[in-house]
Amino acid sequence: MAKLYFYYASMNAGKSTNLLQADFNYRERGMATMLWTAALDHRSLSKAIASRIGLEAEAHRFDAATDLHARVTAAHHVEPLACVLIDEAQFLTRDQVWQCARLADQANIPVLCYGLRTDFQGELFEGAAALLGIADALIELKAACHCGRKATMNLRVDAGGGAVVEGAQTEIGGNDRYVALCRKHFSEALAG
């Protein structure tokens, strides 16, 4: 029986690296995979999924209107898929998370989702909330705060490094816009 997995972490924990390693492992054994990432993330100009340590791969891009179940099922009929891997899974809609569950339950295709749990204000993303609710396996990847404790929060910063406390939930960026912190230092940074 295939499962729906949610690998979650703060920024800089190696989510994309872990996804690309899992993809490599399947492909090295001659198994087909299908990679997906959010269409709104255009940081990588050459490849759709790129890790900070230099690994990258092509991927299909999803937005809120993408029917993942239909697209994956159609591809699976052409070439049997051993696994579907989704980067930036926090941007999935609730319905898309249920589509992923159907792929695991009905098509018997494991679906590995990688993403953030919370935004820069400590609020759950829609996709993350749905995955936390229905995924068969929840796996936390670890990142470290500057104090050495586990980083669980994502602080959005301005150009000067100051904490940003208001704004749209989604603003794409890397180390220039976000800092992974433990809850204590996140709370202190927001308090000013």
Contact (Cβ atoms closer than 8 angstroms) between residue 65 and residue 114: no
- Give the SS3 label for residue 96: helix
Q: Determine whether the annotation assigns residue 144 to a binding site.
A: no
Q: Catalytic site residue 126?
A: no
Q: Determine whether the annotation assigns residue 11 to a binding site.
A: yes
- Residue type for 151, please? A
What 8-state DSSP symbol labels residue 90?
G
Whole-angstrom Cα distance, residue 102 to residue 4? 9
Q: Determine whether the annotation assigns residue 99 to a binding site.
A: no
Q: Determine whether the annotation assigns residue 187 to a binding site.
A: no
Q: Determine whether the annotation assigns residue 178 to a binding site.
A: yes
Contact (Cβ atoms closer than 8 angstroms) between residue 37 and residue 49: yes
Across 172-185, b (16+ Cβ under 10 Å) vs e yields eeeeebbbbbbeeb
Q: Determine whether the annotation assigns residue 113 to a binding site.
A: no
Q: Determine whether the annotation assigns residue 145 to a binding site.
A: yes
Q: Determine whether the annotation assigns residue 127 to a binding site.
A: no
Q: Determine whether the annotation assigns residue 100 to a binding site.
A: no
Catalytic residue among 28, 56, 58, 88: 88
Query: Hey, which residues does 38 pair with through a beta bridge?
Result: 62
Q: Determine whether the annotation assigns residue 44 to a binding site.
A: no
Strand order in the sheet with 4-8: 60-62, 32-38, 81-86, 111-115, 4-8, 137-140
- Give the SS3 label for residue 43: coil
What is the set of active-site residues?
88
Which residues are known binding-site members for substrate?
A: 178
What residue numbers does the annotated binding site for Zn(2+) cover? Answer: 145, 147, 182, 185
